Amino acid sequence: MVTVTISTMPFFKDLRRRSKTRFRTSSSPEGQSNGDMMAGKSTSTLDTLSSNNTPPSSIKPNRSSPNLPTLLKSNGASSGSSTQASTPPQRPVPISSQSNRNSWAAASVLSVNGTIRTPLPASPYAPRVVSISDNSWVHQKVLLVHGQIGDRHHPLDGTLMVIHPPDTFPPTYWPVSESYFKALVHLSPGPNKLRFDFTSPKLSSGSITASHSSWISINYLPLANNPPLDLVILLGKDSTGTFDAVPERIKREGNGLDVAIRKYRMAAYLWQAFTGEQMFRNNFGRRCFRFEEEWQTGSLSFRDTVAGQMRNEAKVHVIRTDKTVAQLRDLNVAQQCESAMGLFTVARDAVEDYFRPRPDQKRYVSVLLLDSHWETSTQTITGHAAMGSDSGNIKMAIFGSHCLQSYPSCLEEVVAALTDCTRTDTNYVGNDCGECGSNWEAANIGIGTHLHEIGHLFGCPHQESGVMMRDYVRLNRTFTIRESYSTRIRAQGLKLCLPSDECGWHRLDALRFRFHPCFHLPSDVPASADESLQVWPADNGKILLTAASGIAFIKLYAEGDDTCHTFIEYVNGESGNSGISRQVVVTETELRQRLPANKQKKKVRLEIFSGGLGSHTIPDISLLKSKHSLVKLPNGQVGYRGNCLGSSQLEGSQREQLILECAFNQKKILTSIKIYHGAALNGLEFCYEDSTSQLFGRSDGNFAGDEFVLDARRGEILMGFYVRAGTGIDGIEILTSFGRKSGVYGDAKGGLGHTLIPPRGFSIAGVSGSCASWIDGFSLIITH
């Protein structure tokens, strides 16, 4: 039998290397590779690609994926193939410019035959955004950007148009002055490909005004897992829902509740845009607080409001109190000489009744008091208070509506509102503290002061500069290029407002925001639930600071200082995302040297903050090396007393101290600890292998005591305690060297949690504190 073998391998080998497109169309010219073949497209395809003004997607495919065949590999076909030789060459593809800055009016967009478009030349007048780079990620709906046109040696005025992706948001227009611009950009979740067009009469060509364009892609990722800042408008139970405004404004835009909501929402987005930019300038990334959003008629563009376009925008809660408008205004008048706590308490009660937070839930709430009113007869603002607090579960800031008429209600009104020189008519609206002599200054004071109170809401005290020191009188400069005449200083404002002229958050505020849960980023190291920190004096004048969440920063106050002027920060990494040290060593000498020379010998107070924003105050650092902090052990060693938990102020409270025998006698082995407790901790009894024991506190409470046994035969030892403490010690948990935890004895939810574990290189030598009817003071004594 004769077998005939036909070789088909070269044929199939070549066939497999042909793409489906090549198989259905003519082959490539002689010697042309697959990459060249893919570059040669039909005329219709070229027209489609050339006429598309949209830049390449910011989300690029994975070129190295093994599941995607490469299109750039040579097919390896023989150059002598008769099929390839007979194929006419395809039309070459024009090489287009890769620049994303173009001059659209000056470019010739059609070739001679009218079918193929020529590349668009780069324009020196295309807008350059310098505040953010292409393909950046942000976490806020309204982004503040600034940049430049051309160069400073040839300044130009004109208009910047921001064009959003098709059908996502109407275009907005922003002034360009001396070649500088600032703009507020609306973003949709996901990638946003934005086009910036610059036009100027000085660049006009005949009857055509030149338009110079650039592209930038910004990715918006909402941080839905962060707690929001809730926006609330508070009304009296009989309120008509109107606010003070001059007749002309009432006629033009109204002064009802719907207008108040739009203006308040726009002010909130200005807070957010300002804060996001400030955090970026402080090298903490583009982090910012977020708002709760709802599907509603959009108001960030007036075109949305007119057309009824639905969007996800910040929700404004409208809450009515159980007080009448008259009662709210009388309440404010009655205590103007005392404090604003009356209105604040009424607002907090109403907010708490509305949100009904769980005991362990924190709410961050900004309240606008809509029933504030300018009393022309007394020249006072009633129903108004400016106050913020971070205490309790409701963290709240309140402010009146007496400046609300001057606020912008949409993006298109921002520049106009912050440059409006119309004088304040005190026949209808108030001039708050004499700083609201014109509309733009009233907007500054209203929006800025409310932001100041929100700073208090987030825990910020008054600072030496910035928003928390009334620097918000310059808030307008953040959003405008030119500044109008100021009645406050009776002078013309800046002709050009550069970033260096703007107000800002103080660095200490930015540090606090960096670790605040409302500002958390997905890239941040997960924060420890334990926000407590401990201070341990040690030998050679050292002070050891420990915290489960890390040590964030220290504030130093010389005697007589009410505001912090000197601080130390321990944030690692450019954006502060790499975690912080859980143990920091400082010395009194080092701390004093950081103060001005004339204050170094004064009494120095320290405020230490953990990464969980827990804090501890040392009234006088000199006390850390005094006899109050040092303990002499029976074997001659020196022990050091850590900071005390609890108030030690209960009636009949007596100081106690216990040095563990096992700390200085190796023959004494600790085998168990008995805990006497009820709703609080009464006492601790340390039991040894030789049947002896030592008692700290009282042995009543739980009659027999709960006993936690250590595995002494395997070398398990006491490592520390987890303590729930308020005015007294509510509960305690035992921690061992084997990683075991006893569970909390006493009230597991009382007070605040504190982890007491000696620093590296130290061990527990004893316990110290005070006891009355139960233990009301507790600290560890440590030694080398």
Q: Which tens digit of pLDDT belongs to each residue from 170-190?
A: 999 999 999 999 999 999 999
pLDDT at residue 677 above 60?
yes
Q: What is the mean pLDDT of residues 155-163?
A: 93
Residue with tokens 């402080």: 282
17 within some domain: no
- Domain end, chosen from 625, 649, 668, is at 625
Q: Tell me the mean pLDDT in the region 190-213.
A: 80
Q: Which of 277, 453, 531, 733 is catalytic?
A: 453
Check pLDDT > 80 for residue 48: no
* 746 Cβ contact partners less than 8 Å away, ≥ 6 residues apart: 675, 677, 678, 679, 680, 681, 724, 729, 730, 731, 732
Question: Model-level pTM?
Answer: 0.82
Pick from 158, 193, 220: which residue ends a domain?
220
Same domain, 175 and 254: no
* Together in a domain, 618 and 711: no
670 and 587 in a common domain:
no
Give the long-range contacts of residues 569-573, CB within 8 A, separation 24 or more: 569/507, 569/511, 571/511, 571/514
Q: For the chain, what percent of residues have pLDDT higher than 70?
A: 82
Is the domain of 509 the same as that of 563? no
What is the per-residue pLDDT for 105? 43
Same domain, 510 and 552: no
Residue 154 lies in a domain: yes
Averaged confidence pLDDT in the chain: 83
56 Cα distance to chain centroid: 30
Q: How far apart (Å, rounded) are the C-alpha atoms in residues 566 and 353?
A: 41
Kindly state whether residues 464 and 353 are assigned to the same domain.
yes
Same domain, 578 and 459: no
Q: Is residue 37 part of a domain?
A: no
Which sign, positive or negative, has the C-alpha torsion 561, 562, 565, 568?
Answer: positive
Claim to verify: residue 529 and residue 490 sit in the same structural domain: no
Domain with 541 in it: what CATH number? 2.60.40
Q: What is the CATH number of the domain that holds 737?
A: 2.100.10.30
Q: Within a domain: residue 158?
A: yes
User: What's the pLDDT score for residue 525?
Assistant: 83
- 565, 399, 415: which is closest to 480 by C-alpha? 415
Give residue 345's Cα distance to chain centre. 27
Question: Could you confirm whether 352 is annotated as catalytic?
Answer: no
434 in the same domain as 400: yes
Q: How confident is the model at residue 71 (pLDDT cuts 50, 70, 90)?
A: very low
pLDDT per residue as tens digits for the range 378-387: 888 999 999 9
Residue 58 inside a domain? The answer is no
Helix (H) or strand (E) holding 392: none
CATH number at residue 164: 2.60.40.10
703 and 573 fall within a common domain: no
- Tokens at residue 119, please? 């590349």
- pLDDT of 31: 40
Q: Are 195 and 242 contained in the same domain?
A: no
Asked whether residue 571 carries a pLDDT value surpassing 80, the answer given is: yes
> What domain range is 710 assigned to?
637-783
Inside any domain, residue 7: no
Secondary structure (3-state) at 305: helix
Question: Whose structure tokens read 């079918």?
Answer: 115
What's the pLDDT score for residue 106? 39
State how many domains the chain has: 4
Which residues make Cβ contacts (< 8 Å) with residue 244, sequence separation at least 6?
A: 255, 372, 373, 374, 401, 402, 404, 405, 428, 429, 430
Model confidence band, residue 332 (pLDDT cutoffs 50, 70, 90): low
User: Of residues 467 and 29, which shows the higher confidence score?
Assistant: 467
* Lowest-confidence pick of 116-120, 162-166, 277-281: 116-120
Does residue 115 form part of some domain? no
**What burial class does residue 158 get, using C-beta atoms within 10 Å of its C-beta: 0-12 exposed, 13-18 middle, 19+ buried?**
buried
Same domain, 452 and 474: yes
Domain boundary, last residue among 583, 600, 625: 625
